[in-house]
C-alpha cells in the first residue's frame, strides 16, 4: 500500500505527493484516484491535478500496481479544497 500521501493546494493547483514503493523494480505504476475515479497512472511520486475547479473539495488516494498487474489496496486518503 502507498504511504505518506499528502495533499497541497498551492495557487489552486492540487498537488499530491507520496512515499516511493521499495523496491521500485517491482512496481509498474501508481494510480491516482479522485472521488473514486482513476484520473491518472504515473511512475512518479507526485501528481498535479489540473482538471478541477479551484476551490472544489475532492478526496484523493493512490494505489500501486506490480509487474503482474495486481493493484494494491488504497493507502491513506486526503481531502483537498474547500
* Mean of pLDDT values over 2-16: 87
pTM of the shown model:
0.92
Query: What tens digit of pLDDT does each residue of 29-64 get?
Result: 999 999 999 999 999 999 999 888 877 899 999 999
Give the mean pLDDT of the chain: 92
Q: What gap in Å lies between CA 30 and CA 45, rounded to an integer? A: 8
Amino acid at each position: 500500500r502507498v504511504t505518506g500521501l499528502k495533499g497541497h493546494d498551492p495557487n489552486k493547483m492540487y498537488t499530491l505527493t507520496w512515499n516511493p514503493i521499495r523496491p521500485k523494480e517491482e512496481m509498474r505504476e501508481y494510480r491516482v484516484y479522485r472521488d473514486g475515479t482513476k484520473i491518472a497512472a504515473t511512475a512518479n511520486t507526485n501528481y498535479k491535478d489540473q482538471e478541477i475547479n479551484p476551490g472544489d473539495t475532492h478526496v484523493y488516494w493512490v494505489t500501486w500496481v506490480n509487474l503482474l498487474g495486481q493493484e494494491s489496496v488504497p493507502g491513506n486518503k486526503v481531502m483537498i479544497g474547500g
